[in-house]
Amino acid sequence: MNALPLSGVTVVSVEQAVAAPFATRQLADLGARVIKVERPGGDFARRYDTTVHGHSSYFVWLNRGKESLTLDLKQDRPVLDRLLAKADVFVQNLAPGAATRLGLDTPTLQAEHPQLIPCAISGYGSSGPWSNRKAYDLLIQCQTGLVSLTGTPEESARPGISIADIAGGMYAYSGILTALYVRATTNVARAVEVSLFDALAEWMSQPAYYTRYGGSQPPRIGTHHATVAPYGAYPARDGKEVLFSIQNEREWHAFCQFLGSPATEQDPRFATSADRVANRAELDALIATRFAELDSADIMAALDEAAIANTNVNSVWDFLEHPVLTERDRWRDVPIPDGTMRALLPPVSLAGVEPAMAAVPAPGEHTERILKELGLR
């Protein structure tokens, strides 16, 4: 097996919650040594829940393969300075103003450690009128307008995952990889900055452009696509939902044959995707009538035969046993304190490389060893 791509890279992270730990966990999976600096008592994400053999589902997801070092940064700052002198990357997602008060802001770190790549993850950026505001995932979802797009006509809804944190962590991860490449090719360490707001703003670009240039924002319509029709879930005769999508005119022609109404294809109300969106209620009535005649399995079989993409609406239990995961061997055993858990492989596969996916640390588990390495014990 080839060496892991980031073997020899040392990352020090003063991190908490989701965004920064998600970025650094991916670096750890690729072989980086990630030293997670935790406050006395540990990252508060350790206490979000206790569902994974007594541990937080968030924490075990985000922190495998790291070393946990417990420090009081106000009293133990010299320890952190020694670590940073040998580190390649420093990541922090401290509360607004905290990094500056601790001397961990980017300008200070670049002056003291010219070869260090600092990565700062914030809510709304390090400058501007909202730079000092606290920011959590759902607050960012609300501020970027995402929540106004999610749900039903009667009620908005939070997406079921921490999407702003995940977006911020992904951009921090890719930014750090880019900065490592730049340093390797130019010997210049570039700082990385990511805000959760900017990360989710990028993901909101399509509805933003649709709203600016169309004059109104996409409506909330549950499982249905706001700007493509038909594209959504409809109940079958057996009460189960089938979601399908029509993406082009070939599929529309085939779907009209499935409806048993070839004349529908010539109906000017449904001539184009935009027409079908404008006349969604009338089209939905035709679909509902046809779906009420068939069970879900028969509908999916007919849509498969017509080469129209479709699916049932899975539960999380269904996802856990999904053949795309089980038959492709996507699960691995990962040690956690006092046990093991099943975890998914990272989504990016590198030929000849098996991700590290090492143990989830206990709070402060590696403190003594790291202090000995630094000559402080």
pLDDT on residue 261:
83
Please say whether the beta carbons of 350 and 6 come within 8 A: no
Per-residue model confidence as pLDDT tens digits over 12-43: 999 999 999 999 999 999 999 999 999 998 99
| pLDDT confidence tier of residue 2, bands split at 50, 70 and 90 | low
Q: In this prediction, what percent of the chain has a pLDDT beyond 70?
A: 99
pLDDT on residue 171:
98
Q: How many angstroms separate the CA atoms of 354 and 273, rounded?
A: 44
| pLDDT confidence tier of residue 186, bands split at 50, 70 and 90 | very high
Asked if residue 97 has pLDDT above 70, the reply is: yes
Q: Which two structure tokens, joined as six digits, stand for 327? A: 């038959």
For β-strands 192-195 and 117-122, DSSP reports them as parallel
CATH code, 231-312:
3.30.1540.10
Question: Right CATH number for 10-204+332-373 from 3.40.50.300, 3.40.50.2300, 3.40.50.170, 3.40.50.10540?
Answer: 3.40.50.10540
Angle between helices 196-203 and 163-186 in degrees, nearest 10? 100
Q: How many angstroms separate the CA atoms of 147 and 200, rounded?
A: 12
Whole-prediction pTM: 0.91
Asked if residue 197 has pLDDT above 80, the reply is: yes
| pLDDT confidence tier of residue 265, bands split at 50, 70 and 90 | confident
Per-residue model confidence as pLDDT tens digits over 156-184: 999 999 999 999 999 999 999 999 999 99
Q: Which two structure tokens, joined as six digits, stand for 100? A: 């500056």
Q: In this prediction, what percent of the chain has a pLDDT beyond 90?
A: 92
Q: Please, is 200 exposed, middle or buried when counting C-beta atoms within 10 Å of its C-beta (0-12, 13-18, 19+)?
A: buried
Please say whether the beta carbons of 66 and 23 come within 8 A: no
What b-and-e string marks burial along 103-124, b requiring 16 or more CB atoms within 10 Å of the CB? ebbbeebbeebeebbbbbbbbb
Q: How many angstroms separate the CA atoms of 269 and 367, rounded?
A: 68
- Average pLDDT of the segment spanning 269-295: 94
Neighbours of 229 (CB within 10 A): 23
Task: Spell out the domain ranges in the chain.
Answer: 10-204+332-373, 231-312
Q: How many angstroms separate the CA atoms of 84 and 110, rounded?
A: 11
Q: How many angstroms separate the CA atoms of 242 and 59, rounded?
A: 34
- Average pLDDT of the segment spanning 60-88: 95
Asked if residue 126 has pLDDT above 70, the reply is: yes
Taking the alpha carbons at both ends of the chain, their separation in whole angstroms is 36
Reported in sequence order, the residue ranges of the chain that DSSP labels E, i.e. its strands, are 10-14, 33-38, 66-70, 89-92, 117-122, 192-195, 231-235, 241-245, 310-312, 331-336, 339-344
Please say whether the beta carbons of 172 and 11 come within 8 A: no
Q: Give 215's contacts (C-beta < 8 A, 6+ positions apart).
A: none
Q: Give 216's contacts (C-beta < 8 A, 6+ positions apart).
A: none
Asked if residue 376 has pLDDT above 90, the reply is: no
